[in-house]
Amino acid sequence: MREMLMDYMPGFHERAGRMGVPGIPMGHRGLDDLTGGFENGKVYVVGSRPCMGKEEFMLSMLLGIVLKSKLPALLFSTNHLKSDYIQQLLAMHCDIPTLHLHKGYLEECEWARLDKRLGTLLDAPLFVHDSLDLPLDTLLETAQNCIRENGIRIIFVDCLQMIDFGKEGGSPSERIAKVMYSLKQLATLNDVPVVVGAMLNREIEFREGIEGKRPQLSDLANSSYIEELADVVMMVYRPEYYHIYQDERGRDLRGLIEIIVRKNALKPLGSFFLDYHQETGIIESKSRFGSKPVRLKDLGKDNKAVNFLVETFGLEEESPS
């Protein structure tokens, strides 16, 4: 253990002195605190039933990455045309109802917001590959080329089940396993996070009660391989869709989506609510965790834990900036 801790502690010391999360920020404080952000080499699955806000949730994270973190990102669209996603991104970024953009009929204040905010999108390092019949081999080859040529730092795939598995035999579960293995290799070999959306089966629709409608890992279509190979599994759930307007404590659930972390490799599980504006697709942080993480520089030189690390592992007294 001493030898392994000697290898581990310098990296921990560096992270403890650095602001932010270890990985790429997801853009929502509760989720970043729980998962540590999108970490290289890991596969993140986002599952939901239709009409829950899953695509908007994924796009909200994608927008934060290319606009705030300014990191190149690649989106594989298997479920929509590229123009559909561009329209949705415009609606979210400019706070304009998607239907208004689709019709081309904007109110005066919306024209003003479009004029003011459109410019910040022009140089966003976002690359979109749309194919409603996307072969797995094409996905992997395109991803490799984009990583090499454009320095892609994170990859999004909007729907796992819409990837074309080819003409090979085998059950649906075996085909899903092949895709998940391939995405895991893509993430690991290229040292990038891969985020993939996934469908849930219809059993949720037949379950009763507030808790019955909340999605479980077993609700993932062909779930066993997805559960096993994903590093993090998040579920997007909108109680209002099922006419559930209050939780057990009587809190108003209208206009909210719940993000439920069902798998979080070697980290805790949890859930939290986000504001969801259905007309624009805007998703905003609603809740905060009760405790606040403390960085190394905030502890002071007299802290016993800091002194122990410095003396035992030969770390520098001044934490890195």
Nearest-angstrom CA–CA distance, 66 and 54: 19
Helices (H), the chain: 2-16, 29-35, 54-67, 82-94, 98-103, 108-117, 119-122, 136-150, 172-190, 203-206, 209-212, 223-229, 304-313
Higher pLDDT among residues 83 and 296, named by residue: 83
User: Among the ranges 228-232, 244-248, 290-294, which has the highest mean pLDDT value?
Assistant: 228-232
> Would you kindly state where each structural domain of the chain is located, as residue ranges?
31-161+175-295
Provide mean pLDDT across the span 255-278: 91
Give the strand pairing for 256-264 and 232-237.
Answer: antiparallel
The reported pTM is 0.84
DSSP 203-270: HHHH--HHHHTS--GGGBTTHHHHHHH-SEEEEEE-GGGGT--B-TT--B-TTEEEEEEEEETTS--E
Sheet containing 256-264: give its strands across. Answer: 126-130, 73-77, 154-157, 194-199, 43-48, 232-237, 256-264, 270-277, 282-285
Closest C-alpha to 158, from 229, 73, 95, 239: 73
Q: CA angle 236-230-176, nearest 5°?
A: 95
Across 26-30, 117-121, 216-220, 287-291, least confident range: 287-291
pLDDT above 50: residue 267: yes
If residue 276 lies in a helix (H) or strand (E), which one and from where to where?
strand 270-277
Question: What CATH number is given for 31-161+175-295 in this structure?
Answer: 3.40.50.300
pLDDT tens-place string over residues 23-81: 899 988 888 888 989 999 999 999 999 999 999 999 999 999 999 999 999 999 998 89
Q: Residue 286: its pLDDT value, please?
A: 60
Nearest-angstrom CA–CA distance, 95 and 251: 27
